[in-house]
């Protein structure tokens, strides 16, 4: 079956997570993604956090499926010549080197544009061009701190906290993928390539939009009624950490279920959606709260919201998280069990939808990965194993017109 991005050739100069997450997504949808790696070493994640000696680590395999691997030393004259040929033939070059690395390699934007005016050059950096921190190298948690996520995550009596979700890395990669697809659309209209840049700080901030909303509300009125600090605690002049509060117009909290004393994930998230108040009261066996003016509006409930959560925890104390959700779903209450990674790995629905997939790898054998979170009616995404280092070097060089002897000489000289 043909895929939407068939025929799009991508030079994948990415490493670690932010860039590889982007190019993996494009590879799933049909692009020919050629991962360019340093001979002998490759992407650092091939050997980081290894669980099987000498085999590519899961960190690498889970972010580089459906790609081809070309080893190439782009700091040698012959390596640069190969890269020039690739640039002439490709549609997109994606990179997430430290600031200035591509320029230092000799591939400035004017030079690339001269080689192939239709090429899209897509970059991830920690901070945007011209930012006072533009020279900084950045990893995930640095971005979460710089993008406003850490100062607004965690509990009010603890330090700023980072999220386990890759807001700085994979999230930035997803933003970059949108940028690349937009630039490809633009190119079909104009024939022209362009530079697409996404910073990790900006991508984190884009997901913290509601916290910037809250800062402005706080500046204006001095309090935020949906935060646990209201009405009994105090506010300073900055958005506080709100623990597990809902953050929108719907109060919510993580609540203990049966077994929480020994199981770290025996919890559900419970949301008190305004119009679901009557079903909630019925589910909890408190029908008298439905019309009680002390409870029947969000405003009336706010000063006793933690007493209400404590009452719900009492109700939950003899129910597992799954039993609780099975009851509450019948009352249309937005809630979910807190799932461990082990439960997610074995979840039959996630397996059936292709969100959790088992993939075969030449060195590792079978492993689990996260498949496409985007589902299409006209495309079924097949996730294949990640390439070994340099697995496709000869094939790619042959495709660029190099003869067998020339390829052998490049191996001999360790250019590839
Ligand atoms: N052949 C020859 N040299 C190569 C090469 C190849 N195939 N591929 C990379 N290199 C060189 C680069 O040219 C660069 O050399 P230079 O600094 O002498 O010019 C060097 O390898 C790579 O540098 P860099 O990307 O800065 O690696 P690093 O390990 O020092 O830093 C990061 C890693 C992630 C901190 C940095 O790349 C970065 O800040 N990236 C942007 C933000 C980002 O994506 N961070 C999140 C990653 S999940």
Q: Which of 73, 94, 137 for a ligand 1 pocket mutation test, highest count of atoms within 8 Å of Cβ?
A: 137
Residues shown for the chain? 416
Lookup: tokens for 104: 């230092």
Q: Residues with beta carbon inside 6 Å of ligand 1?
A: 16-19, 36-38, 72-75, 96-98, 101, 104-105, 124-126, 137-139, 169
91 phi and psi angles, rounded to 5 deg: -105, -35
Answer whether residue 247 shows pLDDT above 90.
Answer: no
pLDDT tens sequence across 107-152: 999 999 999 999 999 999 999 999 999 999 999 999 999 999 999 9
pLDDT tens sequence across 372-387: 999 999 999 999 999 9
DSSP alpha helix (H) spans, 289-340: 298-302, 305-316, 321-328
Answer whether residue 410 shows pLDDT above 80.
Answer: yes
Indicate which residue of 12, 91, 169, 214 is catalytic. Answer: 169
Answer whether residue 248 shows pLDDT above 80.
Answer: no
- Return the pLDDT at 208: 97
Distance 181 CA to ligand 1 centre (A): 24
Q: Assign 3-state DSSP to the chain and report helix, strand, coil percentages, each to 5.
A: 40, 15, 50
Distance 14 CA to ligand 1 centre (A): 9
94 phi and psi angles, rounded to 5 deg: -115, 135
Is position 73 annotated in a ligand binding site? yes
| Closest residue by CA, ligand 1 atom 22 | 97
Please tell me the CATH superfamily of domain 9-206+345-413, with its number.
Answer: Crotonobetainyl-coa:carnitine coa-transferase; domain 1 (3.40.50.10540)
Q: In what order do the strands lie in the sheet with 195-199?
A: 68-71, 32-37, 9-13, 92-95, 120-125, 195-199
Contact (CB, 8 A) for 380 and 353: no
Where do the structural domains in the chain lie, given as residue ranges?
9-206+345-413, 252-333
Helix (H, G, I), strand (E, B) or coil at 253: strand
What rounded mean pLDDT belongs to the chain?
97
Distance 410 CA to ligand 1 centre (A): 23
Is position 91 annotated in a ligand binding site? no
Is position 18 annotated in a ligand binding site? yes
Q: Examine the residue annotation and report whether 169 is marked as an active-site residue of this protein.
A: yes
pLDDT tens sequence across 267-277: 999 999 888 99
Lookup: tokens for 378: 């006209």
Helix (H, G, I), strand (E, B) or coil at 13: strand
Contact (CB, 8 A) for 173 and 62: no
Answer whether residue 249 shows pLDDT above 90.
Answer: no
Four-way CATH pick for 252-333: 2.40.160.60, 2.40.10.220, 2.30.110.10, 3.30.1540.10: 3.30.1540.10
Is position 139 annotated in a ligand binding site? yes
pLDDT tens sequence across 27-85: 999 999 999 999 999 999 999 999 999 999 999 999 999 999 999 999 999 999 999 99
**Which atom of ligand 1 lies closest to the CA of 37?**
7
CA distance 123 to 303: 48
């Amino acid at each position: 079956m043909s895929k939407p991005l068939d025929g799009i050739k991508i030079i994948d100069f990415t490493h670690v997570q932010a860039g590889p997450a982007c190019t993996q997504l494009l590879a799933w949808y049909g692009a020919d993604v050629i991962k360019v790696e340093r001979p002998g070493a490759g992407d650092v994640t091939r050997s980081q956090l290894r669980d099987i000696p000498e085999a590519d680590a899961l960190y690498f395999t889970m972010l580089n499926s459906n790609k081809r691997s070309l080893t190439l030393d782009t700091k040698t004259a012959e390596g640069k010549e190969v890269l020039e040929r690739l640039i002439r033939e490709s549609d997109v070059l994606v990179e997430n080197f430290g600031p200035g690395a591509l320029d230092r390699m000799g591939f400035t934007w004017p030079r690339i544009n001269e080689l192939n005016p239709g090429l899209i050059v897509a970059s991830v950096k920690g901070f945007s061009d011209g930012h006072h921190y533009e020279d900084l190298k950045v990893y995930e948690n640095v971005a979460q701190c710089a993008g406003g996520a850490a100062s607004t995550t965690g509990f009010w009596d603890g330090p700023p906290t980072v999220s386990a979700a890759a807001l700085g890395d994979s999230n930035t990669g997803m933003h970059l993928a949108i940028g690349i697809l937009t630039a490809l659309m633009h190119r079909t209209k104009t024939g022209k390539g362009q530079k697409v840049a996404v910073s990790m700080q900006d991508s984190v901030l884009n997901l913290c939009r509601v916290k910037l909303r809250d800062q402005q509300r706080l500046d204006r009125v001095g309090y935020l009624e949906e935060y646990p600090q209201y009405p009994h605690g105090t506010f300073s002049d900055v958005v506080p950490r709100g623990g597990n509060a809902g953050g929108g117009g719907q109060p919510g909290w993580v609540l203990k279920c049966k077994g929480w004393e020994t199981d770290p994930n025996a919890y559900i998230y419970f949301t008190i959606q305004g119009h679901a108040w009557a079903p909630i009261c019925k589910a909890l066996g408190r029908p008298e709260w439905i019309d009680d003016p002390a409870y029947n509006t969000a405003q009336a409930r706010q000063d006793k919201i933690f007493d209400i959560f404590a009452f719900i925890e009492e109700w939950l104390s003899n129910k597992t998280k799954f039993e609780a959700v099975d009851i509450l779903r019948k009352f249309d209450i937005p809630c979910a069990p807190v799932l461990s990674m082990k439960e997610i790995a074995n979840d039959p629905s996630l397996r059936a939808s292709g969100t959790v997939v088992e993939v075969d790898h030449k060195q590792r054998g079978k492993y689990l990965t996260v498949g496409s979170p985007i589902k299409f009616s006209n495309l079924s995404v097949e996730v294949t194993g990640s390439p070994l280092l340099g697995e496709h070097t000869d094939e790619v060089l042959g495709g660029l017109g190099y003869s067998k002897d020339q390829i052998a000489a490049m191996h001999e000289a360790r250019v590839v």
